[in-house]
């Protein structure tokens, strides 16, 4: 049944951002205890399984039937770039500079998305939308620039660690931005002229391609015995399971609903408000108390989101 609620895509983007804010903390905990590579090798296949079972229940088939190969190719490429390369780089940055700083750089994802979508999809945004994007990005950056609390494990980092972490987060941001545009091409059938693809089918294709590509490239170089030993860490495994359910399964699915129902640049901008929402779990888990500057950024980002709804 079609959804006719005004700004449905924008609301779904904000919901995905809220969920992913907690996902970033769970994956940070899991990556610290199990290792980034172990987390990535497990989260993608596990997410694929969850989505395939959901697809079976909803559609009666475990894999999308009748999808044009062009759409599948764009969705698969989106998964490899966004969920494989982008998220892997982002999770590594979390372990180096923390989820709050890592998500700061993710505010650039809408910039990459909007520039590419403007040319590739013809999504010409009006003055209010462009103003909203600028205000949201500014608010997200302000919210994320407050100093870490003295008790935070990410306080007073060496310069080299900071630079590497920020570079990895930038790669993650670029992957997210490009992945959103590729996903839009696959979801809308723009490249094949066929009917639009459902968000559930699109999410399944994205994560399945990302899982296969990551395993082919990364698994042959891993010490499987050492990885098996790491999985004895109960807290790390629990954090990984929570992250998988909330991340590759729920939030990625909801984010594709958002991308399919709102202009790509606006959807990615609202998805980019994750740093604002991340302030709370970062405070709870890492004792990274938000500063007045962070609170000012939150208000600014909300105001920018309101401008996007005026388009």
Burial 86-98 (b: 16+ CB within 10 A, else e): bbbbbbbbbbbbb
Using pLDDT thresholds of 50, 70 and 90, give the confidence band for residue 1: very low
Residue with tokens 């590729």: 182
Of 274, 258, 303, the residue nearest 7 (C-alpha): 258
pLDDT at site 2:
45
Residue 34 pLDDT > 80? yes
Residue 150 pLDDT > 60? no
67 phi/psi in degrees, rounded to 5: -75, 135
pLDDT at site 89:
94
For residues 130 and 152, the model is more confident at 130
Of 81, 83, 105, the residue nearest 93 (C-alpha): 105
pLDDT at site 83:
92
Could you report the per-residue pLDDT of 225-248, keeping only the tens digit for each?
999 999 999 999 999 999 999 887
Q: What mean pLDDT comes out for the span 7-32?
A: 89
Using pLDDT thresholds of 50, 70 and 90, give the confidence band for residue 56: very high
Share of the chain above pLDDT 90, in %: 37
For residues 152 and 299, the model is more confident at 299
Residue with tokens 């208000």: 299
Q: What is the mean pLDDT of the chain?
A: 85
Could you report the per-residue pLDDT of 59-101, keeping only the tens digit for each?
999 999 989 999 999 999 999 999 999 999 999 998 898 887 7
What's the rounded Cα separation, in Å, for the pair 270 and 257? 13
Could you report the per-residue pLDDT of 174-223, keeping only the tens digit for each?
999 899 899 988 988 766 677 788 889 999 999 999 999 999 999 998 89
Could you report the per-residue pLDDT of 115-129, keeping only the tens digit for each?
787 777 777 777 887
């Amino acid at each position: 049944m079609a959804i006719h609620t005004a700004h449905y895509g924008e609301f779904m983007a904000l919901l995905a951002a809220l969920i992913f804010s907690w996902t970033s903390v769970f994956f940070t905990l899991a990556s610290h205890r199990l290792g980034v590579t172990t987390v990535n090798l497990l989260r993608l296949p596990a997410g694929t399984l969850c989505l395939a079972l959901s697809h079976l229940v909803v559609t009666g088939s475990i894999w999308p039937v009748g999808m044009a190969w062009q759409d599948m190719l764009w969705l698969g490429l989106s998964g490899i770039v966004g969920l494989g390369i982008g998220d892997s780089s982002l999770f590594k940055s979390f372990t180096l500079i923390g989820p709050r700083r890592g998500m700061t750089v993710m505010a650039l994802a809408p910039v990459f998305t909007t520039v590419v979508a403007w040319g590739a999809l013809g999504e010409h945004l009006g003055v209010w939308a462009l103003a909203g994007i600028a205000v949201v990005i500014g608010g997200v950056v302000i919210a994320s620039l407050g100093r870490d609390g003295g008790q935070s494990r990410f306080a007073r980092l060496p310069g080299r660690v900071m630079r590497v972490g920020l570079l990895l987060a930038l790669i993650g941001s670029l992957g997210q931005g490009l992945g959103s545009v590729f996903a839009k091409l696959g979801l809308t059938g723009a490249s094949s002229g066929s009917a639009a693809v459902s968000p559930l089918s699109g999410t399944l294709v994205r994560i399945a391609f990302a899982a296969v590509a990551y395993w082919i490239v990364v698994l042959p170089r891993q010490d499987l015995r050492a990885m098996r030993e790491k999985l004895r860490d109960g807290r790390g495994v629990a954090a990984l399971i929570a992250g998988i359910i909330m991340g590759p399964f729920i939030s990625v699915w909801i984010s594709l609903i958002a991308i399919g129902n709102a202009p790509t640049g606006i959807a990615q901008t609202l998805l980019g408000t994750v740093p604002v929402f991340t302030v709370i779990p970062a405070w709870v888990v890492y004792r990274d108390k938000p500063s007045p500057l962070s609170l000012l950024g939150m208000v600014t980002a909300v105001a920018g989101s309101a401008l996007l709804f005026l388009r």
